[in-house]
Each structure stands twice: as structure tokens, then as C-alpha cells.
Copies of this chain bind each other. A is one copy, B any other.
Amino acid sequence: MNDELSRVFAALGDPTRRDLVARLSDGDATVGDLAAPYAVSLQAVSKHLKVLEEAGLVSRSRDAQRRPVHLEAEVFDLMTAWIERYRQRAEERYQRLDTVLAELNETTPETDLPQEGAAS
């Protein structure tokens, strides 16, 4: 787990951490507030937050004993950029395939057999 992209994807692979991110999208919160709804210990949630922080998804500041957690939404762009890149490649490929099929259909509307002049 070297690069940031791996850390971000892996961090969001855990449902508890995804839920933490979801709740932080409503606004900053303390570790205690965040931990309250879950069945696990405060320490476990603290660990989850550490993972999110190392992935760059979250940052922490200070307010007396409290350590408010803040969502850093910019990292999302990294993921969407990666996803969209390969989704588009795949879609372009489908379009080319569709075009080829359409052309085949157009030049040979009366038969399904391959034509001698067609590329193999």
C-alpha cells in the first residue's frame, strides 16, 4: 500500500470508514461524537480515523482536549479522475465495436455470412 490512490481506495473499502466520511460531510465532529453510534470501542474508531488521515481524506485540529475531525474532499478528485479515465476508455471501445457491428450490418443486410473482402 504505497501510493495515495491505493490508500484512499483501501480506506473506503471499510464500511465503518465510509460511514465516518458520510457523517463528516455534514460537518466537523470530535472523535467521541463520531464513535458514539458504533458498537466498537473509541480506540477502534480512533484507529479508523488515523487510516482516513493517512489517506488524506481527513485532517485533525485542536480545541482544548478535543480533536475535531475535518473532511478533506479534494482527495475524492483523485479517485474520480482514475475511475473516469478507464470508464471512458471502456466506453470508447464499446462505441468502436458498435460502429463496426453497424457497418457490418449495413454492408451485409441480407446475410449473416462473412464477406470475402471483409477484414478478418
**Which residues of chain A in 56-111 are interfacial with respect to chain B, using CB atoms and an 8 Å cutoff?**
71, 73, 76, 79-80, 82-84, 86-87, 89-91, 93
Residues of B within 8 A of A71 (CB): 86, 90
Q: How many residues of chain A are within 8 Å of chain B by beta carbon?
A: 34
Residues of B within 8 A of A90 (CB): 24-25, 71, 73
A14 lies within 8 A of chain B by Cβ: yes
Complex: how many Å from CA A73 to CA B94?
A: 11
Q: With A9-B18, A13-B13, A22-B86 given, name 9 new contacts (CB 8 A).
A: A3-B15, A6-B14, A6-B15, A21-B86, A24-B90, A25-B89, A27-B93, A71-B86, A80-B80
